[in-house]
Copies of this chain bind each other. A is one copy, B any other.
Amino acid sequence: MRQLSHHRTLVTGQLSRHYDDRMARWEPGARQRLVRAAVELFTEQGYDATTVSQIADRAGVTKSTFFRHFPDKRELLVAGQETLCRLLADGVADAPESAGPMAAVAAGLERASTFMGPENRELGPQIQAAVAASVELQERDALKTVGLAAALTEALVARGVPEMAAHLSGELGVLAFKRGFARWSEADDDGPGLAHYALAALDELRAASRALD
């Protein structure tokens, strides 16, 4: 955990420089520190045994700061879901008019990938492990997946893609994002970003889909 803490300090430091003037009130980095502290504790002692107080303590904030950022400990692990949905949808909406559903989904994946930095890449496998060990988290994670697919589907329908094709493309997009994320997490530090892996996974899924029957 030493290395993680070092990295945390760097990230927090960067944020502080950006948001210096609002620091006292908004506690920059608190949200990120809470997520990291929670993931560490879930990994060390399990999700059920971890309390909000412990998470707040480890993150160096008060319990009321915790509750200003998250309604409960479960929501920590799907932090960013709304932003991801918005980026996916925006990417689809901004794709060229001539783009078919799969090209539009690819644009959504590229846009959403910009949201995921080294912190997400590093925490991803630990979050997945915590989810795998808790039915409660699996439920929340499943609903997040449904939400991402719905965001893509709605954005495609808004482009005029027929509902069934939009639904299918949305599902393919979410599968590609998840597979891409998993490969990105396992890859070298200095390799390409998430977008590269997500788009490659989308291509593979599309090829596999053509070859079904």
* A175 to B162 CA separation, bound complex (whole angstroms): 16
A213:B168 contact, CB within 8 angstroms: no
Query: What residue in chain B is nearest A142 (Cβ atoms)?
Result: B142
Q: Given the complex, which residues of B lie within 8 Å of A205, measured CB to CB?
A: 164, 168
Q: Does A185 contact B (CB under 8 A)?
A: no
B213:A102 contact, CB within 8 angstroms: yes
B208:A162 contact, CB within 8 angstroms: yes
Q: Given the complex, which residues of B lie within 8 Å of A169, measured CB to CB?
A: 212
Q: Given the complex, which residues of B lie within 8 Å of A103, measured CB to CB?
A: 213
Q: Does A140 contact B (CB under 8 A)?
A: yes
Q: Does A68 contact B (CB under 8 A)?
A: no
Q: Given the complex, which residues of B lie within 8 Å of A100, measured CB to CB?
A: 212-213
Count of A residues near B, CB < 8 Å? Answer: 30
Digitize A131-143: 1 where CB-to-B-CB distance is under 8 Å, 0 elsewhere.
Answer: 0000100111011
Q: Given the complex, which residues of B lie within 8 Å of A145, measured CB to CB?
A: 142, 146
Known: A100-B213, A102-B213. 15 other contacts (CB 8 A): A100-B212, A101-B212, A102-B212, A135-B143, A138-B143, A139-B139, A139-B142, A143-B143, A164-B205, A168-B208, A168-B209, A171-B171, A206-B212, A206-B213, A210-B210
27 A-B contacts (beta carbon < 8 Å): A100-B212, A100-B213, A135-B143, A139-B139, A139-B142, A139-B143, A142-B143, A142-B145, A142-B146, A143-B143, A145-B146, A164-B204, A165-B208, A165-B211, A165-B212, A168-B172, A168-B175, A168-B205, A168-B208, A169-B212, A171-B171, A171-B175, A206-B212, A206-B213, A209-B209, A209-B212, A210-B210
